[in-house]
Each structure stands twice: as C-alpha cells, then as structure tokens.
C-alpha cells in the first residue's frame, strides 16, 4: 500500500477527533471517565496503526504517548487536587476531577499515536533527497523546507528511538514503578514513599525532556552551514 493511501486512511480515522461523531454517539461509561465510544475508537485507531505501520512502530508510538501524557495527567490532577480546598471546584468534587483526567488520558493515548502515524507514513526522506538532488539549484524557500525536513527526520528517526532505547536498557523508571514492599508500611512511611515516588517520576521526566531537547538541536548549526552552502537558483 502506498504512503498516500495510508495517509488517507489515517486522515479519515482522525475525523472523529474534530467532529466528535460517531464517538459521542456511545456515551455509556465503562468506569468513571472512560466512555464506550472512546474505548471503541481507541481500539480501532491502534488496530489500524498495528496493521498499516507495523508492530514495532505501534509499540514506539504508544510508549511516546505514555511519556507525553503521564506528566500532563499527573501534574494536572495534582494541581486540581491541591486547589480543590481553595476553590469551589466541580459539583462532584475530587471525583469529578478524577473522571476528567482519566478521560483526558484515554484521549491522549489515542490522538498522539494517530498523529505520529500520520507523520511517519509521509516519506520525508524522499522529499529531502529530492531537494538535495535538484540540478537547477535550491531556492531560499526550499532551503528553509530542507532545514525543517532535516530536523524533523533527526527527531523522529534518531532522537526518539535513542531515548526509547535508553529507557529500555537503563530502566529509568525502575525506582518509581516498583511499588511493592516486603514489610507493611506505617502512615508516615507511606507518605514518605509517595513523595519519593513523585520526585523520582518528575526527575526522570525532566531528564528525558532535557536529553531530548539537547539531542534535537545539537546538529542545527552544522546543518545550517551545510544547507547555506548549497547552490542557489539564479532568481532566488
């Protein structure tokens, strides 16, 4: 199947994100915040990604979605919980906020992999090679486009897989994912353990974010010089 056909299918699957239908037609809740429509839509989206993009990409897309959505959900829910006593809050109190963030988490785990899949099927490498191989030179606008393609390809095919490999090999999250304890904890110990758990989560997320930003921009000065030396068109 050509990349245009795959992009068309993913674009069609993305329509419910904008129009709401038919996802909103199934409003029954499986649990608080998890609606049947979004669960069915998520299953359809992830099945399409698995078939059209492959199991390897589907695994990476879900991992990236989790890394992006988890700090957003945790920080948002934590701030809402802390502000709840100071504000009128929602009608249902903390339970309403919980349902909202669970629903948001399901949405992000569906939309982010779908967006990544739409971008991944587009052959940006071919576009970049086509610009580099133009016999009549490269215009200024095409140089801007070439710089964007170079950075995008580096992030998608170099930075993100590298970060995922680091997480897999070094197990950054082993400290805060291991919630088991051989001894029963007192109330004070449980509170201390939760603070350590949140601190470890935030520390690892900051580490990943900083590492990703640094890896993404490290070659930009070199690429800027390289692209600026390309022969330009006579009318550019």
Phi and psi dihedrals of 30, rounded to 5?
Answer: -75, -50
pLDDT at 172: 47
Of 169 and 75, more confident: 75
pLDDT of 109 strictly over 80 = yes
Please report how the helices 94-120 and 3-19 are oriented relative to each other, as an axis angle in degrees rounded to 10: 160
Lowest mean pLDDT among 37-41, 86-90, 153-157, 189-193: 86-90
Tens digits of per-residue pLDDT, 158-188? 887 777 777 666 654 454 445 444 556 676 7
State the Cα angle at 38 between 34 and 40, rounded to 5°: 115
Entry pTM? 0.68
Three-state DSSP at 137 gives: coil
Spell out the long-range contacts of 124-133 with Cβ–Cβ below 8 A and sequence spacing 24 or more. Answer: 124/149, 124/152, 124/153, 124/156, 125/153, 128/153, 132/230
Of 45 and 95, more confident: 45
Mean pLDDT score of the chain: 79
Report, as an integer, the average pLDDT of 209-214.
Answer: 81
Tens digits of per-residue pLDDT, 12-22? 999 988 888 88
């Amino acid at each position: 199947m050509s990349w245009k056909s795959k992009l068309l299918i993913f674009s069609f699957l993305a329509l419910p994100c904008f129009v709401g239908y038919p996802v909103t037609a199934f409003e029954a809740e499986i649990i608080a915040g998890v609606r049947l429509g979004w669960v069915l839509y998520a299953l359809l989206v992830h099945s399409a990604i698995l078939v059209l993009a492959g199991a390897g990409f589907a695994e990476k897309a879900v991992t990236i979605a989790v890394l992006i959505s988890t700090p957003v959900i945790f920080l948002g829910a934590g701030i809402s919980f802390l502000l709840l006593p100071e504000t009128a809050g929602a009608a249902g109190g903390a339970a309403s906020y919980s349902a909202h963030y669970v629903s948001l988490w399901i949405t992000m785990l569906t939309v982010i992999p779908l967006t990544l899949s739409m971008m991944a099927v587009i052959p940006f490498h071919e576009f970049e090679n086509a610009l580099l191989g133009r016999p009549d030179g490269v215009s200024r606008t095409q140089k801007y486009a070439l710089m964007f393609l170079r950075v995008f390809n580096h992030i998608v095919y170099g930075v993100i897989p590298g970060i995922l490999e680091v997480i897999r090999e070094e197990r950054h999250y082993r400290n805060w994912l291991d919630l088991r304890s051989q001894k029963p904890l007192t109330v004070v110990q449980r509170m201390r353990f939760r603070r350590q758990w949140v601190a470890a989560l935030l520390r690892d997320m900051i580490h990943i974010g900083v590492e990703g930003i640094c890896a993404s921009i490290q070659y930009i000065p070199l690429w800027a010089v390289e692209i600026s030396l390309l022969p330009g068109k006579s009318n550019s």
